[in-house]
């Protein structure tokens, strides 16, 4: 369904050149004379690229058939990662090369947000934070009490992160998934 540009706002999903886009930013511009303009910054939901586009007042944009759903990471089989849609209980696969960067801190059963376009899974969003157990790290050096001293720690998912020197094997820690960094120790 096509709606005038005036009805769209930040976060709206539209079709442009047969691809789904999300409006990231909208700026209304009224020049001294002439028609009002809407300068938009758009994110391609399939490829992730950004696009700047200017629309005139009265231009119509087709809404994209995009929806989000809660899901969970199920398993990996060679080239694909599989996710369970919590609403329909259907499994959807995505190629490993598309989502591998987002899978670093996810284990089977981890919650994710699924993004669908025309019934096809096009992207996943992992949770902002995950809690993981430290499976290996070197003991803290005696007398090493200076602030901001870090060491490497192996997590139960297989990833390695830098942690403060007081963290020990068996401790549970909170990880910021986007940056891949230690956030805090969690009480067991």
Place of tokens 């511009």: 29
Instruction: Choose one of 15, 47, 63: the last residue of a domain.
Output: 63
Yes or no: say if 13 and 45 are a contact pair by the CB < 8 Å rule: yes
Same domain, 58 and 18: yes
- Chain mean position to CA 123: 8
* Per-residue CA distances from 144 to 138, 139, 152 (Å): 13, 11, 15
Question: Is the domain of 53 the same as that of 83?
Answer: no
Specify the CATH number for the domain of residue 179. Answer: 2.40.50.140
Q: What pLDDT is attached to residue 143?
A: 61
- Total number of domains constituting the chain: 3
pLDDT of residue 147: 67
**C-alpha distance from residue 98 to each of 42, 70, 104, 130, 176 (Å):** 20, 19, 13, 21, 21
Going residue by residue through the chain, which has 188 residues, state the pLDDT in tens, using 9 for 90 and above: 788 888 888 888 899 988 899 899 999 988 888 888 999 999 988 887 899 999 998 899 999 988 899 999 999 998 899 999 999 999 999 988 888 888 899 999 999 999 999 888 988 999 999 999 999 998 877 665 666 788 999 999 999 999 998 889 999 999 999 899 999 999 86
Q: What is the DSSP string of 69-121?
A: EEEEEEEEETTEEEEEETTT--EEEEEHHHHGGGGTT--TT-EEEEEEETTEE
Q: Does residue 179 contact residue 105 with C-beta atoms inside 8 Å?
A: no
Residue 16 and residue 53 in one domain: yes
- CATH number of the domain bearing residue 32: 2.30.30.30
Cα–chain-centroid distance for residue 171?
26
- Residue 109 domain boundaries: 66-125
Work out whether strand 37-44 and strand 91-95 pair parallel, antiparallel, or are unpaired.
unpaired
Secondary structure class of 32 (helix, strand, coil): coil
pLDDT of residue 98: 82
Which residue blocks in the chain are alpha helix, DSSP H?
96-99
Residues 112 and 141 both lie in one domain: no
- Indicate the residue among 43, 63, 83 that finishes a domain: 63
Whether residues 95 and 136 share a domain: the answer is no
Among 63, 97, 113, residue at a domain's last position = 63
- The total of other beta-carbon atoms located within 10 Å of residue 125's CB is 14
Q: What is the DSSP letter of 130?
A: E
């Amino acid at each position: 369904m096509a709606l005038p540009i005036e009805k769209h706002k930040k976060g709206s999903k539209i079709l442009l050149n047969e691809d789904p886009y999300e409006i990231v930013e909208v700026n209304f511009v009224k020049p001294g004379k002439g028609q009002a303009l809407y300068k938009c910054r758009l994110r391609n939901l399939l490829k992730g690229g950004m696009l700047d586009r200017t629309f005139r007042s009265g231009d119509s944009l087709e809404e994209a058939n995009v929806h989000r759903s809660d899901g969970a990471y199920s398993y990996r089989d060679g080239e694909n990662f599989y996710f369970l849609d919590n609403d329909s209980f259907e499994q959807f696969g995505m190629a490993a090369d598309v989502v591998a960067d987002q899978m670093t801190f996810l284990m089977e059963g981890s919650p994710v947000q699924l993004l669908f376009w025309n019934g096809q899974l096009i992207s996943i969003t992992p949770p902002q934070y995950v809690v993981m157990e430290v499976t290996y790290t070197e003991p803290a050096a005696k007398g090493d009490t200076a602030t901001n001293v870090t060491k490497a720690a192996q997590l139960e998912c297989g990833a390695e992160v830098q942690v403060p020197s007081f963290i020990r094997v068996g401790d549970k820690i909170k990880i910021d998934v986007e940056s891949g960094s230690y956030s805090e120790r969690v009480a067991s």
